[in-house]
Amino acid sequence: MTSAKSTRSDAVSNRERILAVAREALRVSAGASLTAIAKQAGVGIGTLYRHFPNREALIVALYRHHIQEVIDLAPRLVATRPPLTALREWLAEVARYGQLKYGAAEVIHAATNDAEYYQPFVDAIRQLLDAGAADGSLKSGVDPEDVLLLLGVLWRIDPSAQGVGQRVERIQQLIVDGLREPVGGRG
């Protein structure tokens, strides 16, 4: 455990350089080409692809830190808010993140197919659902993965369209309502 498989120093520095360049290039234009990024980072395209097997992997790596923040927020909200409020605030943050990182939407969705990436997300959702189920404000037994799938919608809203903010809020509302424990009977 102490001595992990040694990684060559050039590989490490190349990786970092690619990430730095990519962060900036993608910020400027979500469609920046990997060829251009490699060139700007002073590495061959082959090197870029060895480090990040495809476009998605690169973007996920870039946003991993930020994604982690969103995940970490869930337990904090659960600890400090009523469950329903926690859920709502968390969804708002998720949406906000999606708006910021538009262009990463497809990527995030794709990551949904890679357990390594989405499991922590699922766990975060589970905490929120469990808290709500415990105090009766949310249904119990909801599959967090189903909710994750629904959340994906929030990333697919074009943030340059009109009335995005309100649309996001309405959709959040619809999602939350679908998760709430029906107060009366069912049809």
Check: CB of residue 96 under 8 Å from CB of residue 79: no
DSSP state of 136: T
| The two three-digit tokens of residue 42, written as one number | 């002073």
Stretch that binds DNA, among 50-58, 75-83, 156-164, 170-178 (CB under 7 A): 50-58
DSSP symbol at 102 = T
In this structure, what are the phi and psi dihedrals at residue 10, rounded to the nearest 5 degrees? -65, -35
Q: Does 84 bind a second copy (CB under 8 A)?
A: yes
Give the residue with the Cβ less far from a second copy, 93 or 169. Answer: 169
Residue 163, Ramachandran bin (φ over 0: left; ψ between -120 and 50: alpha; else beta):
left
Site for a second copy in 126-155 (CB under 8 A): 137, 142-143, 145-147, 149-150, 152-153
179 binds, among a second copy, DNA, none (CB under 5 to 8 A by kind): a second copy
Binding at 81: pick from DNA, a second copy, none (beta carbon under 5-8 Å per type): none
Q: What is the dihedral of CA 97, 151, 76, 102, to 10 degrees?
A: -10
Residue 176 touching a second copy (CB under 8 A): yes
For a second copy, the binding residue among 66, 119, 156, 165 (CB under 8 A) is: 156
Q: Does 179 bind a second copy (CB under 8 A)?
A: yes
The H-or-E segment that residue 66 falls in is helix 55-80
Nearer to a second copy, 47 or 118 (CB): 118
- Per CB under 7 A, 8 contacts DNA: yes
Q: How far is CA 84 from CA 61, 92, 94, 139, 181, in A?
A: 31, 12, 15, 11, 11
Q: Shortest gap between Cβ of 46 and a second copy (angstroms)?
A: 24
Please report whether residue 113 would count as binding DNA according to CB under 7 A: no
Residues forming contacts to DNA in the complex (CB under 7 A) are 5-11, 14, 33-36, 42-47, 49-51, 53-55
